[in-house]
Structure 1
């Protein structure tokens, strides 16, 4: 496909209003009988033992996060008797194949082959081993130490499966000095068999922590933040011919500061789609690095830093104040809003009035002689919904400068997606403990300020900083790119506020197909207001430069999913059904929440809670999940000592 475009296509993300239900009120509990719909099968020896991340680890937060959420159960194709297969690695790094029998609702486990690793002296750290099934008999495998394997699945005379390594090679990462070759740990993102006859080959994507040490430059005017050392990740597109003598070829490498949340190679091999909270899709790695002749000594860096500082001083007040003006949360009956005022602000300085539809709030403090714009000022501003003004009130703690508004909802059980009718972009604080922490920070900070002879008239609100350093890094807009084989970004999405929620379960079936020059790839669920919007991702294989190579279409909605999933503070895995019947969230190590799709006109949906705890004294970690029967919605959950079959229907 010809896509020699200097400017990529802009792909809009447009929710289909006919698929939205503004009257939806919430989910009602649907009882789930664990006794009849859960089956447990112990893992054979030696079982699974995941290495713990040491407290003094030098891994970045994002690297640690990727290990916490790593799915250790890998989907396979159907076996020769039409049973679905999955794979996992035991504690001796051997591949075990799980065969799920659709008729008996049971599993059989076969140990295939051990994936050995050597040359450990050159490895600073390891990744978890990863795997991608290429067919019912062929696997692409990494052992977590930088070695890539092709494993053939065979069957012996005893009707038992075993594995044979038919090719192995080292993955050499991109480094500054091209004369050096370093094999580093990598993780498989996606892989497919492409082509026919003599041209058949394996095309796959892996990511690894970047081995380059140059300073990344992603803007024309780099700031001090751009010059800080950041953990970077390389995504490599790799090719292996599917016939001896094989051989490995890295086609291109792209780089970013995030591990991709979504990767899918197009079925015909034209390119791939990548979804991330960061910019991916540089033509080549060198484009985002300072060339050697541009920085010869530390003086040049100092000049760049000084220039950046001057630019920051010259910014307007509106550019500098990025902190949210308040934090807020809600219950089914009320809304609580907290403002940070200068310490010592008296009660008489607060002018606050409530009506059924509007809020009026101004602060007239004697120390605010310059009309500080950071102070709250809402002149008869319309609220998101009606309130009861007689039951609403405000309080102030002058010493620490904490102003709190308590708004009583007129319509109970109505969710507010924002405070005012015109959304000002302030997200709800779901965890009520953050309000207590916010107050504690104010008390701790203002105690020192009030005792100081140089006490400032006001201080910068800590709210914005805390939100930026949020432990789960939620709230970032996800962008999806179509990248061709040359590593060029040919199309990308453009829509603010669409945050990544989850992707669909892997499905080797009719979901990935080419029909009428349209190739369909796995769908994603994105946040739109309080809902979860399912977007189908497709690629136009027709050679036509007037058509965008990437299309994203709203095909289904899970009402209020963005709202309810945000309250799950310990969520580990989250996927939606390829047929859009449900979304499942595994929270912590003991239960899962299932949210079912429903008629678009209904006001309530169904929610099921699955409890995996069989023995309160023995709670094995939940470390993997896959869907093994798509028609009957059967989920397979992997723990450190067992496999659990979950029959959702």
Structure 2
């Protein structure tokens, strides 16, 4: 199955071009403090866990787990190994967290253990790690109320070294109840000699029961798949039906083993097989003042069906009834009035775009779009050859200008370096284990993940320019696999300015986003609503743009925030001794 480059399609209707700023609101946020009977122990890294990947995987772990299947319900594990459940029914009468499961005490004796981790698989199942290498699959019955009983472990396994559970799903396959669990480890890599000596592994385990054999409670591993990479993924999740995997990471992951057997690797000296690259959708060339693009149209496209729209910074080209052929933000501004198109006889569309600023060379036509091919003219190619000739020499110490010292690599700034790999979002097919779609995230910083609909994959939030855009994976729609479902205005810019930020999240209904610092403070960012009054810019003599509200909530604790999560109405912040409940949406501070 060939890999295809995919471009995230922004829904322009979800953007707010009139948004101007956030206005600080002094409306109080009711905050309730639940004191814990036993501390939540922050598992610190050991001397052997010294790499940046250990910090990303374990030191920045969110200890608080929002139960997306039930409203205002959260869970965490305390220092006694108790899995505690907490549900809000009335803010002014909060009950103590209830124990639903207890881990064995021997897990605490392992020196290299990490924090316990939990994934809420379904309304009645959960996956739990003790932090020391043991995995539990638990039947929980219905959660979210005060009457359900203790959790029942129906599958346990000691899988060696410590890990965290990243994600899990449940589904029915072949009439058998099946659970998919995704585990993350940072392991010593004997083949890694130049770097830190560690690599990152993702283990995708499929566990199913044997109900057809009269063994309803007998669960066993059906398949193990192992992926290896060099960086902790920002995002990793299994598709709802267990037929695929999505990973967003700075460095690529690849499957290496299935059921303990290594996958076939290229023989020594033999180049790896290259994936079939699709033909470019368009080609383009440029001069100092204009762009000419040649777009391949679907067979039989009529002239009256062509859709062409260009603004100073964006372009959209397509055929009515078909997917967009060229769409997104242009690398630089153009003059829309001077841009034209022409339908050629060979079923191709010729575009002429006038650059607003003459001179600069564009490295790409549409930012992040890899479906096109840049074609150099003979004159441009000759200039490049001349420059390369001047820069190359058989003398390793050639110095064309003896009066000027040679460049010292230590004098280069960080911005002069070029990364070996770029961040990407990848979809793997569960059967072939090959990548089917790849999104280049080089221009889109990953911000956070959130479960908006527990029956779907978690959403991931990416920075686009100054905004934060939320993307819902749609694995059942290969042509449109990531859907833009919400926008948080200017949140990408705001988040970059918070030097002490530790956690970020948003409400499942997208009514607000929130950032939490390491100590004491949480920031809430609401989007403009019909009830927000319009402001007037006196300096410019005209109405100001749409303004949203920012609120700041203080936490009455000097302990570090270990966990953070949001429901539609409340924020939850966990420290070692307290669980804070912040009533974010109510009649006093929710005007929408």
Match of 2:481 in 1: 551
2:513 is the alignment partner of 1:577: no
Q: 2: CA distance between counterparts of 1:250 and 1:59?
A: 32
**Of residues 616, 619, 622 in structure 1, which corresponds to 2:561?**
622
Q: Using the TM superposition, give the Cα deviation of residue 555 of structure 1 relative to its aligned residue in structure 2, in angstroms.
A: 3.1
Match of 1:590 in 2: 520
TM-score by length of 1: 0.60
Q: 2: CA distance between counterparts of 1:503 and 1:643?
A: 22
1:502/1:526 contact within 8 Å kept: yes
Which secondary structure state, in structure 2, belongs to the residue aligned with residue 563 of structure 1?
A: helix
The number of equivalent residue pairs is 437
Q: How does 1:445-524 map to 2 (within 5 A)?
A: 456=405, 458-460=407-409, 462=411, 464-465=413-414, 477-494=423-440, 496-504=442-450, 506-507=451-452, 511-513=453-455, 520-524=456-460
2:68/2:454 contact within 8 Å kept: no
Q: 1: CA distance between counterparts of 2:93 and 2:481?
A: 38
Q: Using the TM superposition, give the Cα deviation of residue 205 of structure 1 relative to its aligned residue in structure 2, in angstroms.
A: 0.8
Q: Using the TM superposition, give the Cα deviation of residue 148 of structure 1 relative to its aligned residue in structure 2, in angstroms.
A: 0.9
**Of residues 71, 74, 79 in structure 2, which corresponds to 1:86?**
74
Match of 1:11 in 2: 6
Q: Using the TM superposition, give the Cα deviation of residue 497 of structure 1 relative to its aligned residue in structure 2, in angstroms.
A: 0.7
2:140/2:152 contact within 8 Å kept: no
Match of 1:330 in 2: none
**Of residues 232, 240, 254 in structure 1, which corresponds to 2:199?**
232
Q: How does 1:1-40 map to 2 (within 5 A)?
A: 5=1, 7-34=2-29, 37-40=30-33
2:234/2:248 contact within 8 Å kept: yes
Q: 2: CA distance between counterparts of 1:133 and 1:48?
A: 19
Q: 1: CA distance between counterparts of 2:468 and 2:104?
A: 42
Q: Using the TM superposition, give the Cα deviation of residue 579 of structure 1 relative to its aligned residue in structure 2, in angstroms.
A: 2.3
Match of 2:62 in 1: 71
Q: 1: CA distance between counterparts of 2:172 and 2:56?
A: 36
133 and 244 in structure 1: CA distance in 2 versus 1, 3 angstrom threshold:
same
2:168 is the alignment partner of 1:191: yes
Q: 2: CA distance between counterparts of 1:421 and 1:576?
A: 40
Q: Using the TM superposition, give the Cα deviation of residue 24 of structure 1 relative to its aligned residue in structure 2, in angstroms.
A: 3.3
Match of 1:143 in 2: 130
1:277/1:477 contact within 8 Å kept: yes
What runs of 5+ residues in structure 1 fail to find an aligned partner? 173-182, 216-225, 296-382, 385-419, 426-453, 514-519, 542-546
Q: 2: CA distance between counterparts of 1:169 and 1:185?
A: 14
Q: Using the TM superposition, give the Cα deviation of residue 112 of structure 1 relative to its aligned residue in structure 2, in angstroms.
A: 2.5
2:21/2:547 contact within 8 Å kept: yes
2:22/2:550 contact within 8 Å kept: no
What runs of 5+ residues in structure 2 fail to find an aligned partner? 210-215, 271-331, 334-358, 365-402, 531-542, 586-592
Which secondary structure state, in structure 1, belongs to the residue aligned with residue 19 of structure 2?
A: coil
1:232/1:255 contact within 8 Å kept: yes
52 and 540 in structure 1: CA distance in 2 versus 1, 3 angstrom threshold:
closer
Which secondary structure state, in structure 2, belongs to the residue aligned with residue 139 of structure 1?
A: strand
Match of 1:279 in 2: 252
Deviations 1:144-201, CA, capped at 9 Å, x for gaps:
011011334479xxx76553543453343xxxxxxxxxx1111111111110684111
Q: How does 1:181-330 map to 2 (within 5 A)?
A: 183-195=160-172, 198-215=175-192, 227-242=194-209, 243-282=216-255, 284=257, 286=262
Q: Using the TM superposition, give the Cα deviation of residue 482 of structure 1 relative to its aligned residue in structure 2, in angstroms.
A: 3.9
Q: Using the TM superposition, give the Cα deviation of residue 561 of structure 1 relative to its aligned residue in structure 2, in angstroms.
A: 1.7
461 and 20 in structure 1: CA distance in 2 versus 1, 3 angstrom threshold:
farther
Match of 1:42 in 2: 35
**Of residues 492, 496, 501 in structure 2, which corresponds to 1:566?**
496
Match of 2:51 in 1: 60
1:113/1:162 contact within 8 Å kept: no
Q: 2: CA distance between counterparts of 1:187 and 1:557?
A: 30
Q: 2: CA distance between counterparts of 1:422 and 1:591?
A: 45
Q: 1: CA distance between counterparts of 2:242 and 2:55?
A: 32
Match of 1:610 in 2: 552
Which secondary structure state, in structure 1, belongs to the residue aligned with residue 55 of structure 2?
A: helix
Q: 2: CA distance between counterparts of 1:594 and 1:462?
A: 42
Q: 2: CA distance between counterparts of 1:565 and 1:77?
A: 24
1:233/1:259 contact within 8 Å kept: yes
Give the RMSD, CA atoms, in angstroms: 3.8
Q: 1: CA distance between counterparts of 2:417 and 2:83?
A: 40
